[in-house]
Amino acid sequence: MDHIEKKGNSLTDLLYTSMSKIREMVDSNTVIGQPIATPDGVTLIPVSRLSFGFGCGGGDYGKQSPKFGGASTAGVRVEPVAFLVIKEGITRVLPVAMPAMSTVDRVIDMMPEVMDRVENFMDKRKAEKETF
């Protein structure tokens, strides 16, 4: 690292610039978006899948006066996955992707709805027991 620092930090500058640009694009608001409130009282929260990568490399060239040659690259992919739909205290997941193909995928997709129904059933049973 000392060798790089004496040469003007060229490789370090490339890495720092790449990472700072990625940091600008990637934050928690990219994965879980800002809530969107609709006039009818529904709140939508976008959920995205985020993939990113970067590469950086360089080297010194020349015999008399070494010169630095290098490059860096970065890429970010943001893919919408689902919306969390909140209405009257009930949260549901509305997937954006293609429908589930296998039975296991379908069961996993239906799990939040099943849990809501079980919870509502249990609340009703508890209320019935308390009234008798």
Residue 101: pLDDT band (50, 70, 90) is low
37 pLDDT more than 80:
yes
* pLDDT score recorded for residue 32: 84
* pLDDT score recorded for residue 67: 77
Please state, as a whole number, how many other Cβ atoms lie within 10 Å of the Cβ of residue 100. 14
2 pLDDT more than 60:
no
98 pLDDT more than 80:
no
- Residue for token pair 């993939």: 51
CA distances from 43 to 46, 82, 83, 91 (A): 10, 13, 10, 9
Q: Which one is predicted more confidently, 17 or 27?
A: 17
- Residue for token pair 């990568």: 53
User: CA-CA distance, 13 to 10, in Å (whole number)?
Assistant: 5
